[in-house]
Chain A
Amino acid sequence: MKRKAQMQMMETFMVLLVFFILLAIGIYYYFQFSAKNIEETGQEVAILSGTTLLSVVSSMPELQCSIRAREEGGCLDAAKMTIAVEKGLFSTEDYKPLFDKKRVYVNTTYPKEAFISNKCLDNLAYKTPGCGLWILKDYQFKKGKRAVSTPVSIYYPDKGQFMAGKLVIEVSS
């Protein structure tokens, strides 16, 4: 009889053990699935905020060009961008909520020949920090990154000239 009771106890424990093993496997896969979902949501949010940022950056008074006291949409002022880069403006605490963990830059796409080595604009001011490339906010991505971009026009106030460019925002993927 003692043996029978032990068997009964063992059975109960085995049932419980199997139940908990199955439960643990279920929970493990459930959490893996949830974690993947959260990661995907995070990526979607990052891409969405990058896309939002494209329109925000191109209309920021700190960068937007104004011609004869009239603001131009989708147009960035080359002088303002150069100053912002020199001052490291967008790496300051004030801009952190907007630019945190993002790399933001503008490059000229046309005309290309104007920005090759010594053929950079003769105004030496634009040679720093680079000819036709403004890294407004730098960030070193530990994992992968994804980029969103939009075409912009770049206005050189000292020349009164426009050039075509691209505003690029990189977010982690």
Chain B
Amino acid sequence: MGKKGVADPVFVYIFALVAGMIILFFFLSFSMKHKGTANLMESGELASGMDNSLAAFSALGQGEKEFEFPFETELFIDPGSVGAKSGAKQFSKPTRSIIYSPKSLKGKKVAAWTIRWKAPFSITNFFYLTTDKDRYFIVYGNDHSNFASNFMKEEIPDKIKPSNKLFGMNEFSALKAAIRASPPTANLKVIIFGDDVKAAVNNQLSEFNGKYSVVEIIPLEEPEDNFEYDFGYVQFEGEAKRAYIGRPMMYGGMIAENAEYYDYSYTQAMDRLRNVTQIYTEKIRYIKAVGNCPQTGYNSIEGLLSQLQSDSEESPESVVVSKFMNNIKAVEDMNKDIMGAGCQALF
């Protein structure tokens, strides 16, 4: 090897090794970056697609549908955004849709349900999303048996129904069996109707502590032991009571991830209520001058709308639900009176 100017084969091997490694590294990093970009695009398309689909879905006013994906997908529903994960990449998109769902939706299918929230006029649509990994066990006290059975039969749509199971006060063994039969990764929630149920649930389900979360629905109590299910309070574990205004918001309380997520949706809903109320308040000046209609009806409804506005500014923890309810009902009645007098209705 003492010849000057002759490339040492060892040097050639090292050179080839280094050059080969550089080229290999280049291709590997290129393909990794390409994969990352493809994943990001895929999650972006999923999140945008989901948001667009929900927006289009709201045009129906009311409906249910199932989103099917060709592969196991993970969607993230956070306050004000819809996100999706593909590979290691996650993409979130701001959304205007008011969505009640668990924080993470994992699976090939997502069941969706939408209904319009009215107070008393239409304000916005609420969306409810679940997967087959979410299980809701509704446990009701004796005072709520009629409501509970009607609720399951008539109100919960078929695509959402499989996630929900109904249990009376004397059906705890069936409830325990249902919890045991749930997959270990399932998101379990026990929804309570009735004061007497809460203690019983704590006693009977102590063996499953930490495996499920509890939310209590407390409808307003009316005279003669009747309940006003459209208005009331929802109480998450270890949290103060929050108001729900209207049945769609009660469903929201049942499905929402936790109190923080519920509060965000409540605030969003109240912002929309204020926007729409403001429009109706202004609309009065367009219609009150028509014909010979008495001005008193329009003046009264204007005052009531202003009260609705102030109710909507309260937080879900501090708002007086009965007052809010009475104002909503009064606006509805006043609109009917105006129509009854042959005048132009406000809504």
Contact = CB atoms under 8 A, between A and B. Distances in A.
B211 interface: no
| Size range of the chain B interface in the assembly | 35 or more
Contacts of A97: 51, 93-96
Interface stretch (A54-62, A108-116, A141-149, A163-171): A54-62
Given A2-B5, A157-B286, A61 B122 contact: yes
Contact of A52 (B6, B56, B61, B345): B56
Contact of A55 (B45, B59, B339): B59
A94 B269 CA distance: 11
A119 interface: no
A45 interface: yes
B275 interface: yes
A128 interface: no
Contacts of A27: 30
Interface of A: 1-6, 8-9, 12, 16, 27, 38, 41, 45, 48-49, 52-53, 55-56, 58-59, 61-62, 64, 66-69, 71, 77, 79-80, 82-84, 86-87, 89, 94-98, 123, 125, 157-158, 160
B52 A52 contact: yes
A56 B276 contact: no
Given A71-B61, A83-B278, A84-B279, 4 more contacts: A58-B59, A77-B283, A80-B279, A123-B286
Given A16-B19, A80-B283, A69 B5 contact: no
B339 A1 contact: no
A154 B82 CA distance: 34
B282 interface: yes
Contacts of A157: 283, 286-287, 344
B330 interface: no
Interface of B: 3-7, 15, 19, 30, 41, 45, 48, 51-52, 55-56, 58-59, 61, 93-96, 116, 121-124, 271-272, 275-276, 278-279, 282-283, 285-287, 289-290, 335-336, 339, 344-345, 347
Contacts of B345: 66-69
A94 B3 CA distance: 79
A55 B55 CA distance: 9
Contact of B7 (A9, A62, A158): A9
21 contacts: A2-B5, A2-B6, A6-B5, A38-B41, A48-B52, A53-B55, A56-B56, A56-B58, A59-B58, A61-B276, A66-B122, A66-B345, A69-B339, A79-B282, A83-B278, A87-B282, A94-B96, A94-B272, A94-B275, A97-B51, A158-B290
B108 to A, nearest CB: 23
Contact of A83 (B56, B116, B283): B283
Nearest to B281: A83
A67 B287 CA distance: 13
Contacts, number: 110
A158 B289 contact: yes
Nearest to A63: B279
Nearest to A16: B19
A93 to B, nearest CB: 10
- Main SS of chain A's interface residues? helix
B335 A69 contact: yes
Contact of A56 (B55, B282, B285, B290): B55
B279 A49 contact: no
A58 B290 CA distance: 26
Nearest to B34: A34
A53 B51 CA distance: 12
Contacts of A52: 52, 55-56
B282 A83 contact: yes
A98 B55 contact: yes
A59 B347 contact: no
A1 B285 contact: no
